[in-house]
Structure 1
């Protein structure tokens, strides 16, 4: 159980460093000098991508918590 939790935590850190751009965004943003807009687009895409995962994890944790709390009583 501890190794599963550790694996999930470590895998969360790996997706933070990924480059999340579609092909069209990448082609347009590579031509810009300074690459500041490209970094901003990457951060925005990662932010939008992470919200559904956080919500699903929260809902799953809530259901798990309620299920085992009722079972022990």
Structure 2
């Protein structure tokens, strides 16, 4: 019974559509508002920030699982 409740909750959570509005962080909003129309560095700065946010979880995972990753790498290339 407990498992059925968990599955039902998960399905309701996944299937429910939430109305989310793009709020934007204050730094991005301030940077876009204060930029000139001819200033192309705004998009570049925002893209660097997005890439930074995308890379950080992978770096954290590497440090958490580095011993396992190194052992798998050694098994693959040392055996040949």
Greater radius of gyration (CA): 2
> How does the TM-score come out when normalised to structure 1?
0.38
Q: Which has the higher contact order (CA 8 A, sep 6+)?
A: 1
TM-score normalised by the chain length of structure 2: 0.36
More helix by percentage: 1
